[in-house]
A and B are shown apart, each in its own frame.
Chain A
Amino acid sequence: MTESEGFVLELRDIHKSFGDVHVLRGIDLKVRRGEVVAIIGPSGKGKSTLLKCIDLLEVPEQGSVIFMGKDYVPSARHRGLKLRANADLRNLRTHIGIVFQQFNLFPHRTVVQNVMMAPMLVLGMKETEARERSVAQLEKMGLQDKTNAYPSTLSGGQQQRVAIARALVMEPQLMLFDEVTSALDPELVGEVVNEIQRLAEGGMTMLVVTHHIGFARHSGSRLVFIDEGTIVEEGPPGDMLDHPREARTREFLRRILI
């Protein structure tokens, strides 16, 4: 895999509809290695769908998802004998980590089993090796006491950190965060944001859909405002938050900063 002109990810004219609802209406976005792109915008206007389209959990009707120089949309659209196409999609998803708003941990597996699953099933690691690597990842995130607990016994913040560990253990090239603090109690937001901030400082390339303007301002290398399925405005976070050019951006920021 090669990066095309230094871009890890390039989205070209992404369109996605659900029935009559045209959720994404032509998204173009390029992400360089090490960039932290913060995505803001009103709820239900396509931000989560965009992240799912990047991982091809949702397949865009139109456009390209070019990751490390390869367009994966044709594989996702492939009909008929799917083996080759499925292998392509697995390759994409193995290199992209995604963390969801609702954690989506596997409730029937312990914390460490949640993290070990992909290293064993996808990378073909032996159980001892996968466990070692998973425990090390959990330790980095301060979850060493929780390895054998079931997700339901953890706080929301802890569950979300396990979900981050589960994605990171695969050593992804790109991380996608989908409003990962929105389902948390206010006092638990900090521990999760800190974790993401640490990753950003470590040079991880990431797209972060967030309502956390503080995070966008301080950790984002770029801010993107999405409304009605299109990118309305993008730029350096500081400039854009203080001097938004577009009326819609101003309106949105005014509403959420009250």
Chain B
Amino acid sequence: MSLRFDLVLESAGWLAQGLAMTYFVALVSIVVGLALGLIFATARSSSLLILRAPAIVYINFFRGLPLIAFLIWLYFGVTVAFNFQLSALSAGIACLSIQASAYLAEIYRAGLQAIPQAQTQAALSLGLTPWQAFRTVRFPQALRVIFPAIGNEFIGLIKGSALVSVLGVFELMRSTQQRVLFYQLPLEFYTTAALLYIISGIGIGRLFLIIERRMQT
């Protein structure tokens, strides 16, 4: 058996397009997830039951729902039943963002809890508003604590985005599958895709580590 990685190399542009889409999906999802997650983390920690209860339901619902089930339910179930248009890309990003926000909400909560109450008290004692104390004292410190966990979540999204291929989004997995069908070279192409995912994960891990070190100084 001779391996034809030369044909993989010829498809580099094609695969790069898929990889770019993978990064795009993961990046948008982490940004939306971080924003949504903070909202739900805040609601989750609220003393008001009317805010806390929905947040707990949201977090537990989307944390427990398998991503593939969520994707198929939204794209092939909800859109058809309620008769509205949603592109495969939008549906994919929506599912990834929502699931990420459920995880991130708990990550935020853990990070915020790690910051001693005394820090907030010191800020309030200077006359800062509770919001200013949160924004300038508690949150930035919590962000440092949870930064590695955010990195993990981002790598998780890169991997999770592979599932979006079932909706037909042309990301790395989908573009690889198409080449496999075209050349009939599953081993070469799937190996390449796997390596690209792994290298991406390592790269992102390193990037987060560098930023983390910068933040410590």
Contacts and interface: CB of A to CB of B under 8 A. Distances in A.
Contacts of A86: 129-130
B118 A108 contact: no
Contacts of B123: 106, 117
A102 B118 contact: yes
A91 B217 CA distance: 34
Contacts of B141: 106-108
Interface residues of A, number: 26
Contact of B126 (A91, A107, A170): A170
Contacts, number: 57
Interface string A91-131: 10110111010101111100000000110011000000000
B: contact size bracket = 10 to 19
B125 A98 contact: yes
Contact of A117 (B124, B130, B136): B136
A15 interface: no
Nearest to B140: A108
Given A57-B124, A102-B118, A121 B132 contact: yes
B121 interface: yes
B79 to A, nearest CB: 42
B137 interface: yes
A166 B126 contact: yes
Contact of A104 (B122, B130, B144, B217): B122
B129 A118 contact: no
A104 B121 contact: yes
A97 B126 CA distance: 7
Contacts of A179: none
B13 interface: no
Contacts of B128: 90, 117-118, 121-122
Contacts of B121: 52, 57, 100, 104
Given A94-B127, A104-B119, 6 more contacts: A55-B125, A86-B129, A90-B127, A117-B126, A118-B128, A121-B136
25 contacts: A55-B125, A86-B129, A90-B129, A91-B127, A93-B124, A94-B126, A94-B127, A98-B125, A102-B118, A104-B119, A106-B119, A106-B122, A106-B137, A117-B128, A118-B128, A121-B128, A121-B132, A121-B136, A122-B128, A150-B217, A166-B126, A167-B125, A167-B126, A170-B126, A170-B127
Nearest 5 A/B pairs, CB to CB: A94-B127, A104-B122, A118-B126, A122-B127, A93-B127
